[in-house]
Structures are given as structure tokens and as C-alpha cells.
Amino acid sequence: FSNETASESPAPGGGSIAAYVGALGISLGTMVANLSAHKRGWDDKWHYFSEQAEKGQAIKDQLLFLVDEDTNSFNKIIDAIRLPKGSEEEKTARKIAINTATKYAIEIPFKVMQTAFSAYAVLEEMVETGNPASISDVGVGALCSHTAIHGAYLNVMINCQDLDDKEFVAEITEKAKSLLAKSDSKQKNLLQKTEEIIKA
């Protein structure tokens, strides 16, 4: 995947990488839940940690789907741009196709933002209740989650530049900015708690 990203192919690009970093982040949170579920002396907490791990797996699977879907959304734009434009009818159809594809290429990274943000619920549980020996993994998970959200945000914003539907652009831009700000706050809080536990 890294080699394909590094190649001359324009996709996978930043959007897919953002989704993948998010998948890695929640994978760390899920790992802490699984390790905590099997910690000696914590048998009574097995069910709770197993539930958290299942939540993490579902988020991870959705983000992995979005890795490929972001690439697909980019390819849809390329396909639309390559449509014929010899007649007025073809020009109109091509313009509609480009706008439809561009809107989808905005919706996918926004979905990455939302999905990566949902990882905080698991990470917050793990920083409070997880095995302290694995607490640094929660911190790395928080860093990955915020990177995913910020990276996806950049893709939302750049694709918004090419969409004619300005009302949609204004609405999703506002939502994306709000989600990014919330993520920044959650990441900082999680890292602070992580470092406090490490120093204790």
C-alpha cells in the first residue's frame, strides 16, 4: 500500500491515507481493549472490554472500506472529466457527471471524519479503564484519529473548491470545521490523561 501510494499513480492519495491512519488508530484502541479483557485478575471486566473491542472492530472495518472508497471517488471524477464534450448535450451531461462525482468525493472524506471521530468513544474508555501498561497505545491511537480527521478535512475542503453547489459547500464546510475543532479538543484531552498516567 505504501509503495502504491509512493508511485506515480494519483490514487490512493491523502484521503485514503487519512482513512487508513484512522483505521490504525482505532486498531490500537481495540488492542488495548483486548489486552485488558485478558489481564490477570480482571475476569469480571471481560464482558465490558469485549464490547469495547467489538465497537473498535466495527469502526476499523468501516474506515478500511473508506480507504478504497476514497480512491473510487477520485476515479469517478477522472471518469467524468473524460466524458465526451463534442455537443451541447454532451457538455451538459459531462458537467452534471463531474458535479455528482465531486460531491461524492466531498462526502467520502467527511464520512472518514465522522467515522474516525467515533473512535474517541473507545479511546476515552480505554484511557480511563484500560490496562495502564498499554496506555501509550491509547495516546498513539488518539494521535492517529486526529490525524485522520484533519487529513480528511483537508480533502473535504480542496474538493469543495470544484463544486458548483455552493449551498452544499457552505453546509458541509461548517460541519467539517466544527468536527475538526472537537477532535482537536478530544485529542489534547486524551494525550494529557495518557501522559499523566505514564508519569504517575
Express each pLDDT in 106-117 by its tens digit: 999 999 999 999
Q: Is the pTM of this model over 0.75?
A: yes
Q: Residue 158 corresponds to which cell in the numbers above?
A: 480542496
Per the CB < 8 A criterion, the answer to whether 33 and 62 are in contact is: no
Query: Cis before residue 10, ω within 30 degrees of 0?
Result: no
pLDDT tens track for 142-200: 999 999 999 999 999 999 999 999 999 999 999 999 999 999 999 999 999 999 999 97
pLDDT tens track for 70-118: 999 999 999 999 999 999 999 999 999 999 999 999 999 999 999 999 9
| Residues 6 or more apart in contact with residue 134 via CB below 8 angstroms | 31, 32, 35, 36, 126
